[in-house]
Amino acid sequence: MPATTQIIYQPYVNGPRGALKPGIPVICRTADEGVRRAERAMAGGSIVGARIVRVFHDDAAEEFGAPEYLGEVGQVPEEP
């Protein structure tokens, strides 16, 4: 099976002592959809930030490629 591309909306919430904690990631159809989800969640107060990431997934090898950061909203941890 060929490699597939996934766009992931990774939300962040406040953790202990003000540290950022990752929330549950959501697969989106497009980067724009991920940004819209992040903006709505921030407006509703359920997250403090989000990062939109594209990754390549090779099902046959069960491997993920390096993430490509497409956008950020609010507070997010520094890129690794």
Domain ranges, ordered by start, for the chain: 4-74
CB atoms near residue 2 (< 10 Å): 6
- Residue 2 pLDDT greater than 90, yes or no: no
- Residue 69 pLDDT greater than 80, yes or no: yes
pLDDT of res. 60: 75
pLDDT of res. 28: 94
pLDDT digits (tens, 9 = 90+) for 8-31: 999 999 988 888 999 999 999 998
- Residue 1 pLDDT greater than 60, yes or no: no
Mean per-residue pLDDT, 46-53: 94
Residues with Cβ within 8 Å of 45's Cβ and at least 6 positions away in sequence, in order, are none
pLDDT of res. 29: 93
